[in-house]
Amino acid sequence: MTPKEALEFAQKNGAKMVDLKFCDFLGIWQHFSVPIRCLEESSFEEGFGFDGSSIRGWQAINASDMLIIPDPNTAFMDPFCEEPTISFICDVVDPITKEPYTRDPRYVAKKAEAYLKSTGIADTAYFGPEAEFFIFDDIRFDQNEHCGYYFIDSIEGRWNSGREENPNLGYKPRYKEGYFPVPPTDFFQDLRTQMVLQLEKLGVQIECQHHEVATAGQAEIDMRFAPLLQMGDNLMKYKYVIKNVAIENGFTVTFMPKPVFNDNGTGMHTHQSLWKDGQPLFAGDRYGGLSEIALYYIGGILKHAPALCAFTNPTTNSYKRLVPGFEAPVNLAYSSRNRSAAVRIPMYSPSPKAKRIEVRFPDPSCNGYLAFAAMLMAGLDGIENKIDPGEPLDKDIYSLSPEELAGVPSTPGSLEEALKALEADHDFLLKGNVFTEDVIEKWIEWKMEKEVNAVNLRPHPWEFALYFDV
């Protein structure tokens, strides 16, 4: 869509306002709105000013002025605004030099796609994330100098099987048994369908929706694969739509990896494949029907996985899910069909076009632009350096003996470990100036100061159960 076509689209739909959305450093959409009269063809070059010092991890206050440039190709009518509003996803630039801003996650994704083409290996990287989430009725949390708590509630929560609901009708999924009985046990079938239909209206193609394993409204809606940048945009729309449809129906959604103790956490298994000139590059006659290129790509993912986790699993809560011996694939191995491996080769279809790999350790707390770009760069490093992924591991990893497990590396045990891995291993991300030292340094600094240290400083409720009587 050209700027002129975007203006015609706005006029056709009776837009009265323009909503300008952009992704902050950590992966949250920010926005501001202007009257439709302020949108002109020149706006797509001149942009709109905002205060970059008020955005987490961005500008210092003495260099706060920034511009956002709406991308006309991303135009959509926002379904959650009372007045007709056209929305654009925007890029961030320096107001003086008009250069793209290095800490704009969308710019990182664009550079990753450009680097892929420059290698000559492929021209398109497809990503298909399976972002899971929880639908809750109520959430309350606080922490201060004298108390700290959270309270979660869900009409589906197994813990409510004995609650007086006048009447309590039962049908609450058992812990770890939410995958996937029909209604009435699956209370949220219709709500998920509303989410799917709204996403489809906005051009985000959906392949399926279903309840997930945990009790308390754990859900999954799968998007059809798309090129890296487009999927980064789609993931932002996905979170926006799902949260707002939930709110409209009196529920709330979280993409936290582990909000419920003692039940399955929330992952974002991410399918990936490379194509060139319209042909798939991951199909071949090697293990699992893969090509040599695909195996090298896996080698790069497994080698750099500890550093990747700083972007694919970027919260302290992520490592409540990535725990050895539980459901998450913490062991860095690959396998055909085996869902306990960090990298799986799906075997649903014999078609070469369906051949892909599935990286299973990421979670949806990530910034999709950065996570997808980082995984692509790791895979390309594997191809460029012919990194052997080793032998596949087709056994049930969780049943291996300690001796057998000793030779299988694992993901980091904490966000701090992942950040240290990124600090030690990020040269592969700097190729093509895709990630910059500035981005890596600021990411590590922010995460350590604002998240790792902030959590470490606060007493945990369970510590009182363990230690109050010492």
358 labelled catalytic? yes
Is residue 132 part of the annotated active site? The answer reads yes
Q: 312-331, pLDDT tens digit by residue?
A: 999 999 999 998 766 678 88
Catalytic: which of 220, 233, 416, 451? 220
Is pLDDT of 62 > 70? no
Average pLDDT of the segment spanning 63-77: 92
| Catalytic option among 106, 192, 269, 304 | 269
Q: Residues for the chain: how many in total?
A: 470
**Paired strand residues for 61:** none
- Is the pLDDT at 349 greater than 90, yes or no? no
Query: Which two structure tokens, joined as six digits, stand for 397?
Result: 């990893």
The answer, yes or no, to whether residue 296 has pLDDT greater than 90, is yes
Q: How confident is the model at residue 395 (pLDDT cuts 50, 70, 90)?
A: confident
Is 140 one of the catalytic residues?
Answer: no
Rounded to two decimals, what is the model's pTM? 0.96
Backbone angles phi, psi at 225, to 5 degrees: -55, 155
360 catalytic residue (yes or no): yes
**Active-site pick, 103, 106, 192, 360:** 360
The letter for the amino acid at 143 is Q
Is 51 annotated in the active site? yes
Query: Which position among 113, 156, 212, 233 bears the catalytic label?
Result: 212
Examine the residue annotation and report whether 146 is marked as an active-site residue of this protein: no
Among the listed residues 113, 130, 233, 416, the single catalytic one is 130
List 71, 132, 363, 416, catalytic entry: 132
For residue 145, indicate whether it is catalytic. no
Confidence of residue 213 (pLDDT cuts 50, 70, 90): very high
**In which band, very low, low, confident or very high, does the pLDDT at 408 lie, cut at 50, 70 and 90?**
confident
